[in-house]
Amino acid sequence: MKKIIQSSRAPAAIGPYSQAVEANGMLFISGQVAIDPDTGKVVKGGITEQTEQVMKNIEAILKEAGYTFSDVIKSTCLLSDMKNFAAMNAVYGEYYPENQPARAAFAVKELPLGVLVEIETIAAKQSL
């Protein structure tokens, strides 16, 4: 059975999808972009500021569902330009200081709302 996860501390979906879906002890977070949930606008600044907002949005959804960054097993990072990889990676790495998840990173032609980065996340509850 799947459960829809919705956090008011992360931006609302901008299309026909859920922020996240939990099923069978796994959490699938839709791609998050740099929208400030308080303003509904893309944050000002460059890749560093946008990646920070993306990670805050992911954190809010993880928390809403009862997960943490230590539960994350896979991330997919989409960048508008691979020249931004190092700066994105520096911010991303602050959230995963150890036991980093598997990850893929791609450059794409463009992203929603003209943002520089989008990150989707999969988390799983650890078996004891």
Domains of the chain from N-terminus onward: 2-124 (3.30.1330.40)
| Contact criterion met (CB below 8 Å) for 21 and 57 | no
Q: What is the pLDDT of residue 66?
A: 97
Reported pTM: 0.95
| Contact criterion met (CB below 8 Å) for 21 and 3 | yes
The per-residue pLDDT for range 22-62, each reduced to its tens digit, is 999 999 999 999 999 999 999 999 999 999 999 999 999 99
Q: What is the pLDDT of residue 104?
A: 98
Round to the nearest angstrom and report the end-to-end CA distance of the chain: 22
